[in-house]
A and B are shown apart, each in its own frame.
Chain A
Amino acid sequence: MLLRTPTSDDATAWHSPALHRDASCRCGRRGFLRSAVAGSLLFPAMVERLLAESGDQEAAHQPHFPARAKRVIFLFMTGGVSHVDTFDPKPALTRDHGKEIKADHPEIKDRPGYERIFLKRPQWEFAPHGTCGTEVSTLFPHLANCVDELALIRSMHTSHSNHYNATLGMHTGSFAFSRPSIGSWISYGLGSLNRNLPDFVVIAPRQTYAGTQVYASDFLPGSHQGTLVVPGAEPVANVAPRVPGTRQEFELAALRELNDAHAAARESDPLLMARLKSFETAFGMQMAVPDAFDFSRETDATMRGYGLEREQTSGFGWQCLAARRLVERGVRFVELIDTGSSNNWDAHGDMLTHEPLAKNVDQPIAALLLDLKQRSLLDETLVVWTTEFGRTPFNNSADAKGREHHPWAFSSWLAGAGVKRGITFGETDEYGLRAVVEPVHVHDFHATILHLMGFDHERLTYRHAGRDYRLTDVAGHVVRGVLA
């Protein structure tokens, strides 16, 4: 095998001296890098470091004010978690179990069999935890130990009682139409910290309601769309080289030559330059991405903490540890979707299905918070836990095993960068029916997250189809009460 270095002056050399000089002049770093890649002179890790550049010329905005958080981990529980069984204790609900109530509720309106509704008691006990004494139910024994880190919002509410619409709303601020996802907005607003990894990563075993729209960039530039990671052997599509490394490097070097010659004859076209650069980044991603998902150097203690076996490549514990490794590497926004559009928290039939779902996420989330804290990452990482809506504190009989969709009230929490620790915020009424004290709408929730990332939600806009669009549509107030 003969692989010439680009410095050869041999007339038959792969690299023409003229082109090489030209390339070096235009971009010294890239020229050097090309030789590195072509000649395999450097170790992959060094190549990766060389390829990575801080900053991103395509970043549209700077933060409007100093950000409290540099990145976000967004934990989305699919299907609608019951607030009255998890984070919002309602003794009156237990006391008045079976009592008939009236409610002009979207889920029971004109629904046969729901002419009469009755209060239904929670099926799990609540107890105060931590020094702050926040009450959590026995569904989340590990998270209960972390309440001193949480700003728990008990007064969330949303605008729709369908999964599809509410899920879309929680991700895009729009309850009907496709709009950019919150992760795309943050990517657009801030640009990337690591050019070898995408700014916005979504780790989901299956698609949730509303499909790919929940992480789509929509009208924002495509570089801000979420990159889907499916837990498993090849988490990101096309990252695994399909031919052995030596061949790929050989091909990329030849490609580089072709493209350099092509570009040299065409003045400096930024489009062509950008594509040249994209191959360097892609090459870096081939190493950076598997590295991010390679847990072999994690300690046994860490693995145990997340409830993970060695070699395990799925499960929510895997997703949480992957999230920590991604934010460590500068990814701006990591969303973890716990299940998908079926077999999730949508407990119409039986509330007891909450048990395995809670068990699936409880220990990993607690481990993630602890791990971030131990690595001093929690100070600059915002952790968000939410769902699309709550579940009704009533049903059409007191003996009904399940609960219905409930957009009027649910619970979510924030933890980490810029957030008060060990507080609860807002309240629902005595039955958990309505958010009555300091209600927090999804738009307010989004405004608060953007605020923590350094953005005025009314000023983070994008002109599309003649209008300035924003994540919070025409609404939203920053929830000051949760800010540290």
Chain B
Amino acid sequence: MRHIADCPVRLRRGAAFSFCLIAWALGFVCQARADDEAREFFEKQVRPILVARCYACHSGEKASGGLSLETRALWQRGGESGAAIVPGKPDESLLIDAINYRSLEMPPRDKGAKLSEAEIAVLTTWVARGAFDPREEHARIAGMSVEQARHWWSFQSLPPADDRATPAIIDQFIDANLALAGLTADPPADRRTLIRRATYDLTGLPPTAAEVATFVADESPDAYARLIDRLLASPQYGIRWGRHWLDAVRYADTAGENTDRPLPHAWRYRNWVFGAFDRDLPYDEFVHMQLAGDLMRANSSLPQRREGIIATGYLAIARRFGHDIDKDIHLTYEDVIDNVCKVFLGLTGGCARCHDHKYDPITSADYYALYGIFDSTRFSFPGCEPKGQPRDLVPLLTEAEYAVMTAPWKAAVAGREQARQAKIAGDRAKLKRYTDGTCRVIAQAPVGEGQSVPFADPASDALRVVLRKGEVLQLTVFPNANHGADSTLVDWSIEDTTKSTGATAKRWSVTELAADLTRGNPLRTAHEASWCFLDVTDGAALLDEKQDVVSGHAELHAWRLGELPSAFVNSSPQPVDAWTKLPGHSFFVHPGPDRPVGVAWICPYDGEFRIAGSVTDAHPAGLDGVSFELLHCANAEYGAALLEVGTAPREPGLDPGPEPAMPVAFAAVDGTPHDVPMQQRGEPEKPGEVVPRRFLTVFGAQPLPAGAGSGRAELARWITEQPLAARVMVNRIWQGHFGQGLARSLNDFGSRGERPTHPELLGWLSARFVASGYSIKQMHRLIMHSAAYHRSSARAAATVAADPDNRLLARFERRRLSAEEIRDSLLMAAGVLDLQPAEAHPFPPEASWTFTQHNPFSAVYETNKRSAFLMVQRQRRHPFLAQFDGADPNASTPRRETTTVPTQALYFMNDSFFHQQAERFAGRLLNRATTDSRIDAAYSELFQRGPTDLEQQRAEMFVANYPGTPAEAWAGFARTLLASNEFLYVD
């Protein structure tokens, strides 16, 4: 069928069908027979009967009895009973025989019964006149003939929108079918049942006792309408209905490849879906945004653009496969195509990967036309074992916008820096006052390249000093003329030689500082002495930046001011090979260009001291070395001033923290637009012919306009132009209210799906949906105001017997709470449910990820937020959600099944979470004074009704006779109610 796909014919945009044009393109030229009258008779009279009354069984691949009435050739060949029509001879034609209910009875009684006399007359006349039939070609699109596809129920145009959009019309459709079946609708449910039903339905939470009481007592005619409005306005509505959508799009918080790594930004898409339902974002726009929000909002305001990008998270959360996910990207695209087709169009398009669809009109070329669109798109990359961490995350701000966002932070940082510089300048001026004119040089000398120079002759008296407490010895190392920033090894010790100090002389040495230099500056050491590390460019300033790792060496620690000057140590006993070899346990200073560096020792008490030491150029680089000067500053207040300056807060103002990160989304943007070759038998290694990117053949094979990008924006519009898109969504909404769709196969409106029980109703609602501007909330209002929605779920015996599956909606179908509703209701009973939306999951930071296939990511995060915010993994199902039929995170879940298995009962008997919530609930009951009020509160909260007298008595007996303490008895009572069917089922 590829020539269809590539057909250059200009096709009607927006039309549901273009079969004539397609047929024309095929060279299927309508035969211009002379007999125009016969043609007109066939088209106007005969064809409509065949389509309406015969095609349901007698068309397509699996035509009943082997007889297809789609073309002349097919009825001539006939079925198991031979040719169906003998032209000109109605009496010999099996068809005429059957419609008259002679040997066969067609259409059968259970399929709409016998044709009318008028219809029989038309067909008889037609056969008698020679059975003119222009339908000679048997054109096909994959699994359907063109003829069949043209008349396929779900592809039909919608009826004109009905302006009288009253719920009563819904009931007219339903009641008509009930009347045909001879059934009477069950009576309406009581008001308490109704508010519980509507509240769970729209919010996934139970109503409070007060809400029930108010509603039950409110007799005004619009009470129900106001209830629905209130529920639709609740932010909890978006979470409940957004979760339905997440089921369909198989949302998960992990990628699903072999390490199942987290998707830390996927939550933005999740929350966007919840918000979209809350805001009643028109459904067509909702679809457009998920497929191409980045393109459609490219020129909008910042919030709109962000939203557009986040919405394409729909595409990015596609499942990844294998070890190197790029190698299995064709499987990811299959997952995308499968989901796009099922969710938006109700078609099983993923089936066309290896061959044309067997049953539906989707060719393999169609599949690769869509494949090209997604292959032209760049999906955020979640990372995988051989290819590291995530990339291609989509920034939610431009650089300029990001600059605006970080401006306050930058201003705060700059302000802090300014304040710091001002402090440093102030400190210098202050300290200068103490040193000016009070310091004398003890020793000074140049130190040549690579040389080591002692302070003075060790025997010299120059190194013997008498100091008062607070006076300072200060060594300054100068960079000399080349501004050389040399690593300078300093060896410096000071010994107390005061006679009275006794046997053990007190001694201080810079090498002792190697162990913990960065503990402080000033650095207090033994015997109350302190060391300070200084920039002495123009007066002293303390080096105030601590550096625990220097040049990647964890053994090296430093104080510095800016890049330089610095004082640093090798804390290890081993030498370290850095820019030069640094001996073990050594102390260095490093002057900056024009910035001498100083080391000061503050004398702790009055005494006599001997100084020893040397200065060594430890990094000879063929320049001019350094020089030093050792001073005695005899102002006793200088030491105190150094300590005061050094201990004052160094950086005034609040810490602005780390720089705000660019907000990013796990999303999709356009890549390089290109078409892809078909993959024979679905194998990427076997490329076939290249297929241009375009829409599905059955809908017109619309090509991309010249200069198009990936084609996602066009695809999004093509999809919502189809009446099928509205039908599929309306059917989803219907299921959300009634538990099953009008057509039960939500994701399959093709030939293997189930036909709707009320096709006209579905069409009527879909037309309303489109006319309302695709308002989902209006659809809720319409449906929830119908009498059908109000019916009792009591299961009157007659309707159960006649219609066990409740296809005709004579009653309302009772349902079990979903996994999320169970957990949320338990948390609510416990009084701990947090209704605020959650954002990101507490995943470990990306930089720390070392996940492998042998050690994949695996976590369960507890939260008191609503269960729609639980972290769901692809490879390891969330234990609670899995136990109670939660959505499949690997494939679209159109409808939650309800299993009832003993392990669920075990949960209500023995699970620790369940017990905890029950005990909390019991604790809340115990806050009330009397047994009566506790029992009353328990029934009101959990069942939204008071206990009957009998129940009251039994409950009293329960707590009175329970084999345990009163607290245990109330916990047991709480468990009993929380495990009950009344709590777990919605009538």
In the complex, the answer to whether A467 meets B351 with C-beta atoms within 8 Å is: yes
In the complex, the answer to whether A238 meets B853 with C-beta atoms within 8 Å is: no
| Shortest distance between the CB of B874 and any CB in chain A (Å) | 8
Assuming the contacts A222-B897, A267-B797, A466-B750, asked whether A282 and B321 have C-beta atoms less than 8 A apart, the reply is no
Q: Which of A285-307 contact B (CB under 8 A)?
A: 285-286
Assuming the contacts A162-B258, A178-B888, A281-B905, asked whether A341 and B915 have C-beta atoms less than 8 A apart, the reply is no
| B964 at interface by CB-CB < 8 Å | yes
Assuming the contacts A162-B322, A178-B890, A241-B910, asked whether A465 and B964 have C-beta atoms less than 8 A apart, the reply is no
Closest partner residue, chain B, to A249 (CB atom): B963
| B243 at interface by CB-CB < 8 Å | no
| A258 at interface by CB-CB < 8 Å | yes
| B433 at interface by CB-CB < 8 Å | no
In the complex, the answer to whether A238 meets B976 with C-beta atoms within 8 Å is: no
**Interface residues as binary, B951-987 with A (CB distance below 8 Å gives 1, 0 otherwise):** 1011001100111100010001101110111101101
In the complex, the answer to whether B748 meets A465 with C-beta atoms within 8 Å is: yes
| A346 at interface by CB-CB < 8 Å | yes
In the complex, the answer to whether A246 meets B963 with C-beta atoms within 8 Å is: yes
Closest partner residue, chain B, to A165 (CB atom): B322
| Shortest distance between the CB of A179 and any CB in chain B (Å) | 10
| A423 at interface by CB-CB < 8 Å | no
| Chain A residues whose CB sits within 8 angstroms of the CB of B89 once the complex forms | none
Nearest 9 pairs of A and B residues by beta carbon: A466-B752, A282-B905, A222-B899, A211-B875, A281-B902, A267-B795, A342-B854, A238-B906, A282-B902
In the complex, the answer to whether A242 meets B962 with C-beta atoms within 8 Å is: no
| B882 at interface by CB-CB < 8 Å | yes
In the complex, the answer to whether B794 meets A266 with C-beta atoms within 8 Å is: yes
Between A227, A240, A242, A268, the greatest number of chain B beta carbons within 10 A of the residue's beta carbon is seen for: A242
| A77 at interface by CB-CB < 8 Å | no
In the complex, the answer to whether B984 meets A275 with C-beta atoms within 8 Å is: yes
**Interface residues as binary, A201-225 with B (CB distance below 8 Å gives 1, 0 otherwise):** 0000001011111001011011101
Q: How far is the CA of A384 from the CA of B793 in the complex (A)?
A: 49
| Chain B residues whose CB sits within 8 angstroms of the CB of A278 once the complex forms | 900-902, 904-905
Q: How far is the CA of A312 from the CA of B735 in the complex (A)?
A: 52
| Chain A residues whose CB sits within 8 angstroms of the CB of B968 once the complex forms | 243, 247
In the complex, the answer to whether A275 meets B981 with C-beta atoms within 8 Å is: yes
| Chain B residues whose CB sits within 8 angstroms of the CB of A237 once the complex forms | 879, 903, 906, 911
In the complex, the answer to whether B972 meets A251 with C-beta atoms within 8 Å is: yes
| B260 at interface by CB-CB < 8 Å | yes
Choose from B891, B912, B962 the contact partner of A178 (Cβ within 8 Å): B891
In the complex, the answer to whether B796 meets A267 with C-beta atoms within 8 Å is: yes
Q: How far is the CA of A265 from the CA of B982 in the complex (A)?
A: 11
In the complex, the answer to whether A271 meets B985 with C-beta atoms within 8 Å is: yes
In the complex, the answer to whether A274 meets B900 with C-beta atoms within 8 Å is: yes
| B950 at interface by CB-CB < 8 Å | yes
Q: Which of A1-34 contact B (CB under 8 A)?
A: 1-3, 12, 14, 16
| Shortest distance between the CB of A68 and any CB in chain B (Å) | 29
Between A163, A250, A466, the greatest number of chain B beta carbons within 10 A of the residue's beta carbon is seen for: A466
Residues of B participating in the A interface, judged by any CB pair closer than 8 Å: 258, 260, 321-323, 328, 331, 342, 348, 351, 359, 745, 747-748, 750, 752-753, 793-797, 800, 814, 816, 853-856, 858, 875-877, 879, 882, 885, 888, 890-891, 897-912, 915, 950-951, 953-954, 957-958, 961-964, 968, 972-973, 975-977, 979-982, 984-985, 987
Assuming the contacts A222-B885, A279-B905, A466-B750, asked whether A271 and B876 have C-beta atoms less than 8 A apart, the reply is no
| Chain B residues whose CB sits within 8 angstroms of the CB of A342 once the complex forms | 854-855
Between B351, B885, B901, B951, the greatest number of chain A beta carbons within 10 A of the residue's beta carbon is seen for: B901
Closest partner residue, chain A, to B745 (CB atom): A466
Q: How far is the CA of A221 from the CA of B985 in the complex (A)?
A: 20
Choose from B331, B904, B950, B951 the contact partner of A176 (Cβ within 8 Å): B331
Assuming the contacts A246-B963, A251-B972, asked whether A272 and B981 have C-beta atoms less than 8 A apart, the reply is yes
| Shortest distance between the CB of B910 and any CB in chain A (Å) | 4
Closest partner residue, chain B, to A281 (CB atom): B902
| Chain A residues whose CB sits within 8 angstroms of the CB of B260 once the complex forms | 211
A-B contact pairs, 16 of them (CB 8 A): A209-B853, A222-B901, A238-B909, A242-B915, A255-B980, A267-B794, A267-B795, A268-B795, A276-B981, A278-B900, A279-B905, A281-B902, A282-B903, A284-B902, A465-B747, A466-B753
In the complex, the answer to whether A269 meets B795 with C-beta atoms within 8 Å is: yes
In the complex, the answer to whether A213 meets B875 with C-beta atoms within 8 Å is: yes
Q: How far is the CA of A257 from the CA of B948 in the complex (A)?
A: 14
| A263 at interface by CB-CB < 8 Å | yes
Q: How far is the CA of A222 from the CA of B342 in the complex (A)?
A: 23
| Shortest distance between the CB of A261 and any CB in chain B (Å) | 8
Closest partner residue, chain A, to B360 (CB atom): A466
| Chain B residues whose CB sits within 8 angstroms of the CB of A163 once the complex forms | 258, 853-854
| A124 at interface by CB-CB < 8 Å | no
Choose from B258, B331, B794, B910 the contact partner of A164 (Cβ within 8 Å): B258
Closest partner residue, chain A, to B975 (CB atom): A251
| Chain A residues whose CB sits within 8 angstroms of the CB of B957 once the complex forms | 2, 12, 14
| A177 at interface by CB-CB < 8 Å | yes
Choose from A162, A218, A254, A263 the contact partner of B958 (Cβ within 8 Å): A254
| Shortest distance between the CB of B801 and any CB in chain A (Å) | 11
Given A275-B905, A281-B905, 13 more A-B residue pairs with CB atoms under 8 Å apart are A12-B957, A162-B323, A176-B321, A207-B876, A211-B856, A216-B877, A221-B897, A222-B897, A237-B911, A247-B972, A255-B980, A466-B752, A466-B753
Q: How far is the CA of A2 from the CA of B961 in the complex (A)?
A: 6
| Chain A residues whose CB sits within 8 angstroms of the CB of B853 once the complex forms | 162-164, 209, 341
In the complex, the answer to whether B359 meets A266 with C-beta atoms within 8 Å is: no
| A262 at interface by CB-CB < 8 Å | yes
| Chain A residues whose CB sits within 8 angstroms of the CB of B348 once the complex forms | 465-467
In the complex, the answer to whether B954 meets A14 with C-beta atoms within 8 Å is: yes
Closest partner residue, chain B, to A3 (CB atom): B961
| Shortest distance between the CB of A312 and any CB in chain B (Å) | 25
In the complex, the answer to whether A341 meets B854 with C-beta atoms within 8 Å is: yes
| Shortest distance between the CB of B902 and any CB in chain A (Å) | 4
| Chain B residues whose CB sits within 8 angstroms of the CB of A243 once the complex forms | 964, 968, 972
Q: How far is the CA of A163 from the CA of B258 in the complex (A)?
A: 9
In the complex, the answer to whether A254 meets B976 with C-beta atoms within 8 Å is: yes
Assuming the contacts A178-B888, A212-B882, asked whether A282 and B794 have C-beta atoms less than 8 A apart, the reply is no
Q: How far is the CA of A282 from the CA of B976 in the complex (A)?
A: 15
Q: Which of A226-241 contact B (CB under 8 A)?
A: 227, 237-241
In the complex, the answer to whether B902 meets A285 with C-beta atoms within 8 Å is: yes
Between B331, B875, B912, B951, the greatest number of chain A beta carbons within 10 A of the residue's beta carbon is seen for: B875
| Chain B residues whose CB sits within 8 angstroms of the CB of A211 once the complex forms | 260, 856, 858, 875-876
In the complex, the answer to whether A251 meets B910 with C-beta atoms within 8 Å is: no
| Chain B residues whose CB sits within 8 angstroms of the CB of A466 once the complex forms | 348, 359, 745, 748, 750, 752-753
Choose from B323, B912, B980 the contact partner of A259 (Cβ within 8 Å): B980
| A248 at interface by CB-CB < 8 Å | yes
| Chain A residues whose CB sits within 8 angstroms of the CB of B814 once the complex forms | 266, 269, 271-272
| Shortest distance between the CB of A56 and any CB in chain B (Å) | 12
Q: How far is the CA of A3 from the CA of B905 in the complex (A)?
A: 23
Q: How far is the CA of A181 from the CA of B90 in the complex (A)?
A: 57
Between A210, A212, A218, A275, the greatest number of chain B beta carbons within 10 A of the residue's beta carbon is seen for: A275
| Shortest distance between the CB of A387 and any CB in chain B (Å) | 16
| Shortest distance between the CB of B345 and any CB in chain A (Å) | 13
| Chain B residues whose CB sits within 8 angstroms of the CB of A2 once the complex forms | 957, 961
Q: How far is the CA of A210 from the CA of B323 in the complex (A)?
A: 12
| Chain B residues whose CB sits within 8 angstroms of the CB of A263 once the complex forms | 981
| Chain B residues whose CB sits within 8 angstroms of the CB of A272 once the complex forms | 814, 981, 985
Q: How far is the CA of A343 from the CA of B752 in the complex (A)?
A: 46
Closest partner residue, chain A, to B854 (CB atom): A342
| Chain B residues whose CB sits within 8 angstroms of the CB of A207 once the complex forms | 858, 876
| Shortest distance between the CB of B814 and any CB in chain A (Å) | 6
In the complex, the answer to whether A238 meets B903 with C-beta atoms within 8 Å is: yes
| Shortest distance between the CB of B104 and any CB in chain A (Å) | 29
Q: How far is the CA of A177 from the CA of B331 in the complex (A)?
A: 9
Between A3, A246, A261, the greatest number of chain B beta carbons within 10 A of the residue's beta carbon is seen for: A261
| Chain B residues whose CB sits within 8 angstroms of the CB of A346 once the complex forms | 854
In the complex, the answer to whether A266 meets B795 with C-beta atoms within 8 Å is: yes
